[in-house]
Amino acid sequence: MKLFLETAFRWNTPCPLTDGAGRIRYTLVGDAFHLRRKLRVLDLAGREAVGLCQVLPGFPPRYEAEVYGKPVGEILKDLTVRPACCLFPARNWRAEGPLGAASVSVWEGSAPVASLQVSGRQTVLDLPEDDSALPALGFLLLIRCIFADQEPRRL
């Protein structure tokens, strides 16, 4: 499944996630005024399909991930390697490539799971077609909207 984020992410401003035909499938909302920074992906009915909430105190930076209110694990930024990478231990996923790069791939062992490509303001999210699509969506959006901004610019 491919989803497109056509605008640059901004905190507290809803950003539509569209499919290849331009139909809105989800809405991305970042809540910077929440006690802990939070990203939410809302489905068409307005329900929180994916929730990513910062764990405080947070070193290394960590986020709790939920899919429709059910915890699916923590996502963390691994600062022990250079360049820093992103891990989703509950899924055995690792994001490869510099987090601020125009292309980031998610791997489970040696098998690709998902990826994101950035071109200008458009982000293309290539997701699996199974029940891991929503956790992968959350993982990639966390990289794109939060962790990438903490890295030196490579776009």
Residue 154 inside a domain? The answer is no
| Structure confidence by residue, pLDDT tens digits, 59-117 | 788 899 999 999 999 999 887 777 778 899 999 999 876 766 778 899 998 899 999 99
Rounded to whole angstroms, the Cα distance separating 79 from 83 reads 8
CA atoms within 13 A on the CB side of 73: 15
The yes-or-no verdict on residue 155 having pLDDT over 80 is no
Is 141 within the bounds of a domain? yes
Q: Give me the number of domains the chain comprises.
A: 1
Give the CATH number of the domain where residue 77 resides.
Answer: 2.40.160.200
- Any domain includes 30: yes
Concatenate the DSSP letters of all residues of 100-113 into one string: TSSEEEEEETTEEE
- State residue 151's pLDDT score: 53
What are the DSSP E strand ranges found in 19-136? 24-31, 38-42, 48-54, 62-67, 70-78, 85-88, 93-96, 103-108, 111-119, 122-126
Q: Kindly report the CA angle at 18 between 119 and 70, in degrees rounded to 5?
A: 110
Q: Which helix (H) or strand (E) holds 18?
A: strand 15-18
Residue 104 lies in a domain: yes
pTM, rounded to two decimals: 0.87
In a domain, 155, yes or no: no
Q: Does the structure show a pLDDT above 50 at 154?
A: no
Residue 92, in any domain of the structure: yes
CA torsion angle 14 18 24 25 (round to 10):
-100
Would you say residue 153 lies in a domain? no
Structure tokens at 105: 């791939």
Domain presence at residue 84:
yes
Residues 6+ apart with CB under 8 A from 57: none
pLDDT of residue 16: 95
Expressed as residue numbers, the domain containing 113 is 2-148
pLDDT confidence band for 149 (50 / 70 / 90): low
Q: Which of 11-15, 34-38, 102-106, 120-124 has the lowest mean pLDDT?
A: 34-38
Token reading at 34: 């929440």
